[in-house]
């Protein structure tokens, strides 16, 4: 009715008997409809876009390209490793081009920045690098399950839950590391032909042992995280759903909504039932889904780590198999097919 009133509450899920719920405690690797899954082809480019893409590809495929080890000036440089070439896929480059509004200079700069940043933060997967961001480093942060990856939405995008109310540590650098690690994991879990993920932010406060704070993180940390996502994971966020929004944030969002950029508006979901976007079989029971998920750190975390490593290793192996050069398609790594569908030199013109 009013401007600030929420939509009438959905009928209580009393009908959903306990027996309908699907018990689960681990991350899913495959989308629900795996058998019938038909990955969408890579979007085509216009001739101009293709030209820009080729120029970027040429830049990064250059064997002499060396990048510094971290963002400081006067640090030693190193050529791209296999893992970095793996990361520099066809989709990756186009993502950065899209994010930079097809400005090649900006795209190259952003890509370089991200590559350096990944070296700095430790996402190189290089056995030689000491300073790796592994599951063990940030394990302690997730003991209460404040961030989980579980299920897929109707467009087969992985669901990334962020539960502010399950905070178990003081604001620290490790918290940001944890967020980056989980983001990287969520991105890794994207199925073939999917680039984006869906983030669910839950503001509900939980009262459980180990949880020290039920408040949203400090603005500066939130801002630091947002900056990381914006700069180093461009074009990765499909939708961001907000659950249990406190009234003041609700009022703020409602007030701001008419002024938001339509693209952003589309991404933010805060007054729609999740069923429109997520199949109940993929949604936690807490949010009217059917998954009876109970986070158990001892079970979930090691399992997730293994699954992630498997997926990543499998993709990397396929990358090496298909030639191991910059510009191969993620479509090829993530699939199960034998032959290369999108060779590097193939021009995808629309």
Partner 1 sequence: MRFIGHRGKHQSDNANLTLKIDVIQAQNIDVINKFDCNPICFVTTNTYYHNKTNKLKNSNTKWNQILKLKLPKNPKSEWLRVVIYDALPTMAPYSHSTSATATSMALNSPSISAASLNTMTSPSGSGRVKNIYNSSNGSPSPSGWDSPSFRNRYNFDDQEELNSSKTNNYLYLGEVRLSFFDIFKKKDTTTSYNFDVHPAWYPVYDRKRKTAMANDRIGEIQLGFKLESNSKKIPVFQSFNEWKNQLENNLENKKYMHDVTSSQTSLVNPKLSELVNNDARKVVSESDLAGSRTDSSSSSDVVSITSHPDLIVDEEDLDVEYDILSVVSSNNDLKNIDDGEDAIDLNLEENDEITKDDLFDIKEKGFDLQSMVTVLDEYDVVTPNSSNSATEGVGNIYESFNNFSEGTDDEEMEDTTDISFDSIGNTLLHLKKRTRMKKAKRSMSISSHHPSMNFHISKRIHASGVLYIKFDNIENLPPMKNKISRTTYIMDPFLITTFGRRVFKTSCKKHVLNPTFNEYAAFEVYPTETNHGFYFKVMDKDSFSYNDEVAECTLSWIDMMKEQGDACTWKTYKLPLKITSDSAPKDRKEAVLTIEMQFVPYNQLKENFWQKSVPNGAKKETFDIIELILFFERLGSFTDQDAVDFFKHFGKVAWTGDTITRQQLIEGLQSWNKSIDFRNVWRCPRCLKSCKATRPSRNSKLVLENDLITHFAICTFSGNHKLRKVSYVSTAFASKRWFSKMLIKLTYGNYVLGSNNANILVEDRDTGVIIDEKISAHVKLGMRVIYNGKGTESKKFKNLLKTMSVRQGKKFDSPSSIKNIEPFIKFHSLDLSQCEEVEFKTFNEFFYRKLKAGSRTPEGDNDTVLVSPADSRCAMFSSVHKSKEIWVKGDKFSISRLTRGFHSEVFNDKSCSLGIFRLAPQDYHRFHSPCNGKIGKPIYIEGEYYTVNPMAVRSSLDVFGENVRVIIPIKTPQFGTLLLIAVGAMMVGSIVLTLNEGDVVKRGQEVGYFKFGGSTIILVVPSKSVIFDSDLLKNSLEGIETLVKVGMSIGHSPESLEYRRQRVKIKNSKQLEQIKRSITVTEENAEDIGNVPWQYRALEKFIEHDPLDSLGTSDYDDDEKSASVP
Give residues in contact with partner 1 (CB under 8 A): 70-73, 75, 117, 120-122, 131, 171-173, 175-177, 218-221, 223-224, 227
Closer by beta carbon to partner 1, 138 or else 150: 138
| Minimum CB–partner distance for residue 116 and partner 1 (Å) | 10
| Minimum CB–partner distance for residue 272 and partner 1 (Å) | 32
What order do you get walking across the sheet with 197-205 strand by strand? 147-152, 158-165, 197-205, 237-243, 268-269
Closer by beta carbon to partner 1, 119 or else 334: 119
Closer by beta carbon to partner 1, 227 or else 264: 227
Q: What is the largest CA-CA distance in the chain?
A: 65
Give the integer Cα–Cα distance in Å for 319 and 282. 30
Q: Can you tell me whether residue 22 is helix, strand or coil? A: strand
CA distances from 263 to 198, 204, 239, 241 (A): 15, 27, 10, 14
Closer by beta carbon to partner 1, 120 or else 305: 120
Q: Which of 112, 66, 69 is nearest to 88 (CA)?
A: 112
| Minimum CB–partner distance for residue 228 and partner 1 (Å) | 9
Closer by beta carbon to partner 1, 5 or else 172: 172
Contacts of 30 by beta carbon, 8 Å cutoff, 6+ apart? 191
Give the integer Cα–Cα distance in Å for 163 and 184. 17
| Minimum CB–partner distance for residue 169 and partner 1 (Å) | 11
| Minimum CB–partner distance for residue 214 and partner 1 (Å) | 19
**Residue 167: alpha-carbon gap to chain centroid:** 20
| Minimum CB–partner distance for residue 134 and partner 1 (Å) | 13
Residue 45 φ then ψ, to 5°: -110, 155
Closer by beta carbon to partner 1, 171 or else 323: 171
Beta bridge partners of 269: 241
| Minimum CB–partner distance for residue 295 and partner 1 (Å) | 25
Closer by beta carbon to partner 1, 175 or else 329: 175
Q: What DSSP state is assigned to residue 193?
A: T
Closer by beta carbon to partner 1, 222 or else 348: 222
| Minimum CB–partner distance for residue 121 and partner 1 (Å) | 5
DSSP for 66-113 reads EEESSSSTT--EEEPPHHHHHHS-HHHHHHHHHHTTT-HHHHHHHHHH
């Amino acid at each position: 009715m009013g401007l600030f009133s929420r939509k009438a509450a959905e009928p209580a899920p009393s009908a959903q008997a306990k027996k309908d719920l699907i018990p689960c405690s681990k991350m899913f690797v495959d989308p629900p409809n795996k058998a019938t899954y038909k990955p969408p082809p890579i979007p085509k480019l216009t001739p101009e876009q293709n030209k820009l893409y080729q120029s970027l590809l040429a830049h990064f495929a250059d064997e002499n390209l060396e990048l510094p080890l971290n963002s400081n000036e006067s640090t030693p440089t190193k050529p791209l490793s296999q893992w970095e070439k793996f990361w520099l896929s066809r989709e990756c480059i186009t993502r950065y081009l899209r994010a930079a509004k097809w400005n090649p200079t900006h795209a190259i700069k952003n890509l370089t920045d991200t590559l350096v940043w990944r070296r700095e933060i430790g996402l190189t997967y290089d056995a030689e690098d000491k300073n790796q961001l592994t599951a063990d480093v940030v394990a302690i942060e997730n003991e209460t399950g404040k961030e989980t990856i579980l299920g897929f939405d109707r467009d087969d995008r992985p669901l990334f839950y962020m539960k502010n109310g399950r905070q178990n540590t003081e604001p620290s650098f490790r918290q940001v590391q944890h967020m980056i690690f989980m983001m990287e994991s969520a991105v890794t879990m994207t199925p073939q032909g999917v680039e984006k993920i869906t983030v669910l932010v839950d503001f509900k406060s939980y009262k459980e042992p180990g949880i020290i704070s039920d408040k949203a993180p400090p603005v500066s940390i939130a801002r630091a995280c947002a900056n990381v996502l914006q700069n180093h994971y461009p074009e990765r966020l499909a939708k961001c759903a907000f659950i249990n929004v406190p009234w003041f944030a609700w009022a703020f969002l409602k007030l701001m909504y008419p002024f938001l950029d339509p693209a952003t508006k589309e991404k933010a979901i805060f007054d729609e039932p999740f069923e429109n976007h997520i199949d109940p079989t993929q949604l936690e029971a807490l949010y009217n889904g059917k998954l009876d998920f109970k986070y158990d750190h001892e079970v979930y975390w090691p399992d997730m780590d293994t699954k992630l490593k498997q997926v990543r290793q499998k993709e990397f192996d396929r990358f090496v198999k298909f030639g191991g050069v910059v510009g191969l398609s993620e479509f090829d790594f993530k699939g199960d097919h034998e032959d290369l569908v999108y060779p590097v030199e193939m021009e995808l013109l629309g």
